[in-house]
Amino acid sequence: MLQYFVKRLGIALLVVLTVSVISFGLLRLSGDLAQNLAGEGATPAQVDEIRVLYGLDRSMIAQYFDWAGSALKGDLGRSLFSNDPVFELITHRLPVTFTLAVSSLLLAICVALPLGVFAAVYRNSWIDRAALGLAVFGSAVPSFWFALVLIYVFGVQFRLLPISGSTTWAHFIMPTVTLSTMVMPQIMRLTRGGMIDALDADYVKMAWAKGLNPMAVFFKHALRNALLPVVSLAAVSLGFLLGGSVIVESVFSVNGIGSLAYESIKRADFPVVQSILFVLSFVYVVLTLLSDLINARIDPRIRLH
C-alpha cells in the first residue's frame, strides 16, 4: 500500500510540475508582458524600465523559478487589471464555484445512479430506453443554450427563479441543473454498464443461488462492485466541473472562478489566468489521487499491480 501510494504521489507531483511549466509558458506566449504593463502610450524607455523592474529581462528559466518559488509560498503575483493579489482573488471566488460544482455533482449522482441501476436491472424495458434517451440528449445539448432555455422558461415565463447572480440559494438552482447535465450522462452509462457486468458475474449468480432476497443481491453484491469505476469518474467529474463551469457562470452571472477566468482572459490579465489554470489542475490532481487511494482501499487487486 505504501509503495503504491509513494509511486502515485511521485507521478502526481510530476504532473503538477509539468502543468505549472505549461501555464507559465502560456503567459509568455501572450505577447510582451512589459508592454502590457506599461500600457498603450508608453515610450520604449518606460517599457524597458518596467521590464527590469519586474525582472522580465532575465532568462525564461530564471523567471520560472522565481514564479514557482513565490507560488510555493502562496504568492501568485498581482492582477494586471486591479493590482489585487491573485491569491486573494482566487480564494475569494473559489468557494462559489466549489459549491456550484459539488451540488451539480451531487444532483447528477442522485439522478444518474438510481437511473443506471434501474436501467441495468430492467434491461431493454421502457426505463432502460428512457434512461438511454436522456443520456443521448444530455450529452448532445449545448449547456449555454440549455441555460438560456431554463432562464426563458423558469425565470421569465413562470417567474419562479432568479436569472442571474449568486447571492441566495435560489440563484444556484438553474446553474446547478445546467452544470449537472454535463456529467450526468456519463455517470448513468457507467453505472448501467457496471451493473450489467456485475449482474452477469458468477458471484451474483451465487448470491441468487443462496436464495438471498433481490434487494441484497442488487445493492450489497452487484452495486458495490459496479460503483468502483463510478468513484473514479466522480472525482474526475468534480475536477472537470470546476474548470467547465465557466460557460454556466457567465450565462447566469455567477461570481465564481470561471467568470473570473473568463473576464481575465478577455482583458489579457494573464497572471490571473495562469494561476487559475494552475490551481484548477492542482485540485484535479489531488482529487484523482484521493480517488485512486479510495479505490485501492476498497479493492485490494489495485494495490498489487
Partner 1 sequence: MSNAPAPLDNMDLPMPSPRQQSWMMAKHHVGLQIGALIVLVFTIWAVFAPFLAPADPYVQNLANRLAPMIWQDGGSWDHILGTDGFGRDLLSRLIWGTQVTMIVGFGAAFISGVVGTTLGMLGGYLGGKIDAAVIFLINVKLAMPGVLIALSLVSIFGGSLLSITIILSLLFWDRFAVVTRTATQQVRTREYIAAAECSGASKAWILFREILPNISNQIIVIGSLEMGIAILIEAALSFLGLGIQPPTPSWGILVSEARDTMFFKPHLIVIPGLAICILVIGINLLGDGIRDITEPQGRN
Angstrom CA distances, 172 to 96, 105, 169, 220, stand at 10, 13, 5, 34
Of the listed pieces 28-36, 46-54, 97-105, 208-216, which binds partner 1 according to CB under 8 A? 28-36
Residue in 179, 222, 280, 296 binding partner 1, rule: CB under 8 A:
280
Query: Least distance (Å) from partner 1 to the CB of residue 15?
Result: 5
Instruction: Round to whole Å and give the CA distance between 173 and 155.
Output: 11
Q: Which CB sits closer to partner 1, 40 or 215? A: 40
Instruction: By CB under 8 A, tell whether 162 contacts partner 1.
Output: no
Region of 165 on the Ramachandran plot (φ > 0 left; ψ -120 to 50 alpha; else beta) = left
Residue in 52, 156, 160, 290 binding partner 1, rule: CB under 8 A:
156
Instruction: Round to whole Å and give the CA distance between 48 and 43.
Output: 9
Instruction: Round to whole Å and give the CA distance between 193 and 204.
Output: 15
Q: Which CB sits closer to partner 1, 94 or 222? A: 94
Residues from 238 through 267 that contact partner 1 (CB under 8 A)? 239-240, 242-244, 246-247, 250, 258, 261-262, 265-266
For residue 69, what is its C-alpha cell?
518559488
Query: Least distance (Å) from partner 1 to the CB of residue 98?
Result: 14
Cβ atoms of residues 261 and 276 within 8 Å = yes
Cβ atoms of residues 198 and 226 within 8 Å = yes
Instruction: By CB under 8 A, tell whether 80 contacts partner 1.
Output: no
- CA triple 291-294-297, angle to 5 deg: 150
- The residues, any chain, with a CB within 8 Å of residue 227's CB and separated by 6 or more, are 191, 194
Residue in 172, 218, 252, 284 binding partner 1, rule: CB under 8 A:
284
Instruction: Round to whole Å and give the CA distance between 22 and 261.
Output: 17
Instruction: By CB under 8 A, tell whether 130 contacts partner 1.
Output: no
For residue 225, what is its C-alpha cell?
462492485
Q: Which CB sits closer to partner 1, 21 or 62? A: 21
Instruction: By CB under 8 A, tell whether 293 contacts partner 1.
Output: no
Of the listed pieces 66-74, 85-93, 148-156, 199-207, which binds partner 1 according to CB under 8 A? 148-156
**What is the binding site for partner 1 (CB under 8 A)?**
11, 14-16, 18-19, 22, 26, 29-31, 136-137, 139-146, 148-149, 152, 156, 236, 239-240, 242-244, 246-247, 250, 258, 261-262, 265-266, 268, 270, 273, 276-277, 280-281, 284-285, 288
